[in-house]
């Protein structure tokens, strides 16, 4: 069974975001080994310098890569490519068929992801040209992963 991780920097503060993610995790449980890994954000001052931000991203990046282990990485970042829902399903299927049993989607902090995490990614993804709060992006990604599995199973969920 494919292992799918969602590695996120930061926590969901509001219960409604946590409830939504928990619902998709429940739905995904018979389809894959789905886990959400929350990593702490690096502490930064109120108005951080570029150097402070770079060091924080490096620290977060080390923790992300450690949490991912040998997973195939799909980092979400502004310069990533957009895929439609069937395209995401195809990415999961291709990864599974290639013999890789471990996939990790990565959502960074509000400052993004380190260059090292982006470089390790098999494919950089972007949800949209629009900007979304990280909490909403996490819920949307959970739903899209669930939708991808439904597409692969050829169910009526994806119309």
Concatenate the DSSP letters of all residues of 98-115 into one string.
Answer: TT--EEEEEE-BTTB--H
Determine the pLDDT at residue 143: 98
Report pLDDT for 79. Answer: 93
The enclosing H or E element of 152 equals: helix 134-152
- The reported pLDDT for the residue numbered 140 is 97
> What is the rounded average pLDDT of the residues 3-25?
97
The tokens describing 38, both together, are: 């929350």
Residue 13, strand partner residues: none
Which residues lie below 8 Å from residue 95, measured CB to CB, with a gap of 6+?
Answer: 2, 72, 103, 122
- Percent of the chain predicted with pLDDT > 90: 90
Mean pLDDT of all residues belonging to the chain: 95
Is residue 103 a contact partner of residue 95, using CB atoms and an 8 Å limit?
yes
User: Residues 81-88: what's their mean pLDDT?
Assistant: 97
DSSP 8-state class, residue 123: S
Q: Domains of the chain by range and CATH?
A: 3-152 (3.40.1280.10)
State pLDDT tens for residues 34-68.
Answer: 999 999 999 999 999 999 999 999 999 999 999 99
pTM: predicted TM-score of the whole model, two decimal places: 0.94
């Amino acid at each position: 069974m494919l292992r799918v991780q969602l590695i996120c920097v930061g926590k969901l503060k509001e219960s409604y975001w946590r409830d939504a993610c928990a619902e998709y995790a429940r739905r995904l449980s018979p389809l894959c080994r789905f886990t959400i890994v929350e990593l702490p954000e690096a502490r930064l001052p109120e108005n951080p310098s570029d150097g402070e931000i770079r060091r924080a991203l490096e620290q977060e990046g080390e923790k992300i890569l450690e949490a991912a282990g040998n997973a195939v990485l799909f980092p979400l970042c502004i310069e990533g490519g957009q895929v439609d829902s069937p395209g995401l399903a195809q990415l999961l299927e291709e990864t599974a068929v290639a013999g890789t049993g471990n996939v990790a989607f990565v959502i960074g902090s509000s400052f993004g992801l380190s260059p090292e995490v982006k470089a390790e990614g098999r494919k950089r993804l972007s949800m949209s040209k629009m900007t979304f709060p990280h909490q909403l992006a996490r819920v949307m990604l959970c739903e899209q992963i669930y939708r991808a599995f439904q597409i692969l199973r050829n169910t009526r969920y994806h119309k």
